Amino acid sequence: MLVDIDDGPKTIEKSIALLKQAKDEGVTSIVATPHHLHPRYDNTFQQVLVKLAELRTHPEVQALDIKLFPGQEIRITDSILQGLD
């Protein structure tokens, strides 16, 4: 749902359409989980926070009254613990 982050929507309009669909299906909260340390996508948590803030402040998104939370999809690899140092 975050605009222009990995395989998500490329425009704010498409993101809003996804959120409206979620609202119509009774969704009240969403955790945004773009990829982290993925071979094709490298999204820092700071990027996620910035994109989420942009989405949260859009008037059409605010009118939907869906709670949006940051997160990331973590790829489990043999070297994942090295990133915690």
Convert the pLDDT of each residue in 36-45 to its tens digit: 766 677 788 8
pLDDT at position 58: 98
Return the higher-pLDDT residue of 78 and 19.
Answer: 19
Please state the pTM of the whole predicted model. Answer: 0.81
- pLDDT (0 to 100) of residue 36: 75
At 36, which helix (H) or strand (E)?
Answer: strand 35-36
- Reading phi first (left if > 0) and then psi (alpha if -120 to 50, else beta), residue 69 is in beta
- Interval 25-32 mean pLDDT: 97
pLDDT at site 85: 55
The residue with greater pLDDT, 35 or 29, is 29
